[in-house]
Structure 1
Amino acid sequence: MDLHVVTDLEDEPGGLESSLVVRTDFSDQAAWLRTQTALMQPGRLGEDAQDDGDEDFGPALTFVDHPRFDGFTAQQFVAEVARMRLSRNHLFFADRRAQIDDDHPVVALDLEKDAPGGEENAPGRSFRVRAYEVGSVGANLSLINMDFREFADATPDGVFRGFQE
């Protein structure tokens, strides 16, 4: 598995099509490695796939692994991204829960400043995404095929597990 790992938030580490996954818990290196492995597993491309909707693809992810992000919260990321003037509309972060739960549900964080819908769509809205769905969610958000709100609204328990048919 070829991992792209950087040590800071950047606009172009893997291109803007690559979603950032930031490590925020440094208590267990083995758990972090398991999380990275789970996140890099191919996922379904979805209904718009060329081959009947079940084509597998590897997620476009760049991992940010630096202790300065230890314990970072959603609001700290929103402030840091604004301070750095990054062009990203989302990022994922892997906290303790993401690293120890079997589904590795990372936090998806909305960074879009001009989202329609007022305060409910302001930067900082978040939900969890199980590892298998991260590639699809990240690709759709990066390419602006879907809004953050569409995914967030499909998480009645706070964890996105895919759209129900």
Structure 2
Amino acid sequence: MALPQPDDLTSLVLRTDFGDDAAWDALRAAVHALDGGPHATWVSDPRFAGVGIPELLHEDNAADEDEQLTHLFLADATALADPQHRLLALDLYDEPGRTFRVPPAWFPDISANLSIANMDFEDFADCADASGTFRGFGDG
């Protein structure tokens, strides 16, 4: 179950919950509505249904070094049930397994900065609020 590779300068958004197609479409629309830029490589593949963080870490570690990812975002059951559609950001590099939630409004900035290694995962994770959600620097 190798992890898909994101398109150049985008982040992988992996769907792991398949119970609500309308919520998946709404999440994608919310991100696209922000500025229309290609910030995500969207993957909706049922073989990833219910996959958890340990399995994702294992798959990334098993990949060739040049195929390993530094981060990804999960459209999990929580993200799809949440009216805010907060994606789960997952660190695969510096602190493998570390997570925080990302509302669509912040996804393009976070994706862009992580994709070009302008900022590190911890820069965003350390600013997450008490709910584990990144809501901006100094605002959370």
- Same fold, judged at TM 0.5 (above): yes
Q: For 2:33, what is the secondary structure of its paired residue?
A: coil
- Summarize deviations over 1:108-156 as a string: whole Å, max 9, x none: 00011xx3xxxxxx21111111111111111111111111111001002
Structure 1 partner of 2:28: 36
> Deviation above 6 Å: which 4+ runs of structure 1?
none
CA contact (8 A) 1:41 1:59 kept: no
* 1:163 partnered with 2:115: no
Q: Which has the higher helix share?
A: 2
Whole-angstrom distance in 2 between the partners of 1:41 and 1:133: 12
Measured in 1, the distance between the counterparts of 2:100 and 2:45 equals 23
Q: Secondary structure at the match of 1:62?
A: strand
Taking only the aligned residue pairs, the percentage that are identical comes to: 43
| TM-score, L = length of structure 2 | 0.87
Quick one: which amino acid aligns to residue 7 of structure 2? Answer: G
TM-score (ref. length: structure 1): 0.75
- Which stretches in structure 2 are left out of the alignment for 5+ residues? none
List gaps (5 residues or longer) in structure 1. Answer: 1-7, 43-55, 116-121
Number of matched residues?
135
Aligned positions of 1:15-26 closer than 5 A:
15=8, 17-26=9-18
